[in-house]
Amino acid sequence: MDACRRLKTIADRLKRFTNLDQSESHNTDLNGLFRDTVSQLQSELGEKAEVVLDLNTIPPVRCRPQQLSAVFSSLLRNAAVAIEDKGTIWVRSYQRDGEIRLEVEDNGKGIPASRLPYLFEPAFAVTEGRVSTTNWGLFTSRSIIIEHGGQIDIQSQEGKGTIVTIQLPVSGQKRRYRRQPGESPGPVCGGPSATLLLLPHIQPPASQCR
């Protein structure tokens, strides 16, 4: 029964993400969207970290705000999880080279270099009969950013912290997706036109669903 509940939770979570495609696209103040997301998570984040906002003046971006809010929320939660005691999360926005850049930085435990190439690859794992997932939040976040014509990059040093950078085109401009060195092509990671999220069919053992 426990495995079935976990699989249902995973399916419901992915359904919520895919339903975000139904939200409308319009010019959006990303600074305001970031502030709103931080405010909504304040009670959750405040227990682990101080959130420092460094939001510079940037032009509006045509986007689906619900989708980007989900991305911001996922990145902020990841940053909080990486902080083992009490730390700081920096949220930045600025314009560079004709693009909007958004950063979420933390001074948490960091990510081992061996894991960095695989952070956007989703996976399921079964340990002692319990089903768990890894990287699904980053996988979905990256899909959303690519659909918006942007790119997401993660830099991390174990023991020092992590910086996640999102690059988005200014409204009215299109940006060509650039595959990272060593990145394998795929239906979601191939570029802005990849709007279909393909999910594996999972059939739990019958004995665990009774």
- Please indicate, yes or no, if residue 210 is contained in any of the structural domains: no
Domain count, the chain: 1
pLDDT at 135: 60
Around Cβ 100, how many Cβ atoms within 10 Å?
21
For the chain, the DSSP string reads -HHHHHHHHHHHHHHHHHHGGGSPPEEE-HHHHHHHHHHHTHHHHHTTEEEEEEE-----EEE-HHHHHHHHHHHHHHHHHH-SSSEEEEEEEEEETTEEEEEEEE-SS---TTTGGGTT--EEEEETTEEEEESHHHHHHHHHHHHTT-EEEEEEETTTEEEEEEEEEPTT------PPTTPPP-TTTT-TT------------GGG--
pTM higher than 0.85, yes or no? no
pLDDT at 156: 96
Q: What is the pLDDT of residues 32-82, one digit of tens each?
A: 999 999 999 988 888 889 999 999 999 999 999 999 999 999 999 999 999
- Please indicate, yes or no, if residue 152 is contained in any of the structural domains: yes
The token duo for 105 is 């930085």
Q: Which residues of the chain have pLDDT under 50?
A: 16-20, 176-210
The token duo for 23 is 């939200």
- Please indicate, yes or no, if residue 30 is contained in any of the structural domains: yes
- Please indicate, yes or no, if residue 208 is contained in any of the structural domains: no
Quick one: how far is CA 98 from the chain centroid? Answer: 23
- Please indicate, yes or no, if residue 10 is contained in any of the structural domains: yes
Average pLDDT taken over every residue of the chain = 77
The token duo for 112 is 């081992």
Q: Identify the CATH number of the domain in which residue 183 sits.
A: 3.30.565.10
- Please indicate, yes or no, if residue 173 is contained in any of the structural domains: yes
- Please indicate, yes or no, if residue 85 is contained in any of the structural domains: yes
pLDDT at 149: 94
- Please indicate, yes or no, if residue 151 is contained in any of the structural domains: yes
pLDDT at 208: 40
For 28, counting Cβ atoms within 10 Å of its Cβ (0-12 exposed, 13-18 middle, 19+ buried), the class is: middle
Domain containing residue 53: 2-201
With CA atoms as reference, report the closest residue to 144 among 66, 31, 59: 66
